[in-house]
Amino acid sequence: MPQRRRCGVLGDPISHSLSPVLHRAGYVATGLDWEYDARRVPAGTLADVVGSLGEQWRGLSLTMPLKREALPLAAEVSDAARLAGAANTLVRSDDLTWSAGNTDIGGARAALAERGVTALTSATILGGGATASSTGLALCDLGAREVRLLVRSADRAAETASVLRSHPGRPDVVVAGLDDVVTGDVVVSTIPAEAQEAGLVTRCADVPVLFEVLYSPWPTPLAAAADGRVLVSGLDLLVHQAALQFGLFTGVDAPLDAMRAAGEQALAARGAS
């Protein structure tokens, strides 16, 4: 009897991850007898862990702090992962080599498109870390040519600014403080809920689209103030990037509705506990 196929999510911390919930729901909905688990993998140890995996392992979802460590482990690197300088996906081929991809970018595009946002000219991103890089590249794919990065520390945003400027669209990227002006067709928040102070919420009020990448706690101050505007949530992003991974891992179209419903139920249960 052939071994059951296995996939999983690796990172540190990892106990909060909804990825097992989403992927397992996908397996149930499509009738796949696969396994998907979460495993804590600290920074600096990814190569050893990947090297120890048996032949039944077919896909890995990667979260912080492993997304940059994944690139040297892959025989092939997708254009998106190379542009971002980070991979959230490792897919194993039949020859047992790994390919690296980045479904965060495509997931962000799909999450925006689902809410009717398919073209942009300018945007503001709150925060300057890895999530700002991937969502920023998605915004540039949708046409944004002016991107403002509002951050607490300009030095910490230097890498993200460089990544966005390397996009083929060659956007104009401005780095400023969190207390600066918020403008554009969309504002993307990648900052913690506790950093969303009242003045910042007010400055974001006139931007027609809010993309809040958090899904817990929910609603964040920014999301709570988004009545009447287009709101893209962190769960939207998570489900769409997971659906793209699901297809890469299994070769089967992802059951998006089933995966989303499972994620909503899991978050509701967490909120009730």
Tell me, what's the pLDDT at 130? 87
Give the orientation angle of helix 103-114 with respect to helix 130-141, to 10 degrees.
Answer: 60
pLDDT digits (tens, 9 = 90+) for 229-269: 999 999 999 999 999 999 999 999 999 999 999 999 999 99
Asked if pLDDT for residue 155 goes beyond 90, the answer is: no
Instruction: Provide the domain limits for residue 46.
Output: 6-101+238-272
Question: Which of 67, 92, 203, 260 is flagged as catalytic?
Answer: 67
Amino acid at 184: G
Within-domain flag for 260: yes
Task: Specify whether 122 is located in the same domain as 189.
Answer: yes
- Per-residue tokens: 141: 């794919």
Structure tokens at 224: 């709570």
More confident residue, 228 or 41: 41
Alpha helices in 115-169 (DSSP H): 130-141, 158-165
Kindly state the percentage of the chain with pLDDT values over 90: 92
Same domain, 222 and 248: no
Residues 56, 134 within the same domain: no
pLDDT in tens, 168-206: 999 999 999 999 999 999 999 999 999 999 999 999 999
126 and 163 co-located in one domain: yes
The reply to whether 150 falls in a domain is yes
Phi, psi of 187 (to 5 degrees): -120, 130
Q: What is the pLDDT of residue 140?
A: 98
Same-domain status, 182 and 243? no
Q: Is the pLDDT of residue 271 over 80?
A: no
In a domain, residue 1? The reply is no
Average pLDDT, the chain: 95
Residues 227, 110 share a domain:
yes
Residue linked to tokens 């918020």: 182
> What confidence score (pLDDT) does residue 272 get?
58
Predicted confidence (pLDDT) at residue 2 exceeds the cutoff of 80 = no
Per-residue burial over 55-94, b if 16 or more Cβ lie within 10 Å, else e, is: eebbbbbbbbbbbbbbbebbeebbebbebbbbbbbbbbee
Nearest-angstrom CA–CA distance, 88 and 5: 19
> Tokens 């706690």 label which residue?
217
Q: Do the domain assignments include residue 134?
A: yes
- Any domain includes 132: yes
Residues 156, 80, single domain; the answer is no
What CATH number is given to the structural domain containing 71? Answer: 3.40.50.10860
Number of domains in the chain: 2
Specify whether 96 is located in the same domain as 166: no
CA pair distance 219, 225, nearest whole angstrom = 9
Q: What SS3 state is found at 219?
A: coil
What pLDDT was estimated at residue 208?
Answer: 97
CB of 61 within 8 A of CB of 32? no
Asked if residue 262 is part of any domain, the answer here is: yes
Question: Is 221 an annotated catalytic residue?
Answer: no
Q: Are residues 67 and 110 in the same domain?
A: no
pLDDT per residue over 48-57, tens digit each? 999 999 999 9
Half-sphere exposure of 205 (CA within 13 A, CB side): 9
Beta-bridge partners for 33? none
pTM: 0.94
The SS3 assignment for 169 reads coil
Q: List the strands of the sheet with 57-62, edge to edge.
A: 35-40, 6-11, 57-62, 89-92, 98-101, 76-77
Residue given tokens 């991979």 in the structure block: 87
As given in the structure block, the two tokens for residue 70 are 């994944």
Q: In a 3-state reduction of DSSP, which class is residue 91?
A: strand
For residues 80 and 111, state if they share a domain: no
CA distances from 136 to 52, 141, 146, 180, 237 (A): 34, 9, 11, 18, 13
Residues 96 and 17 in one domain: yes
Q: What is the CATH number of the domain that holds 180?
A: 3.40.50.720
pLDDT (tens digit per residue) in 22-38: 999 999 999 999 999 99
One domain for residues 128 and 227: yes
Q: Which region holds residue 31: left if phi is over 0, alpha if psi is between -120 and 50, else beta?
A: left
Q: What is the average pLDDT across 153-164?
A: 92
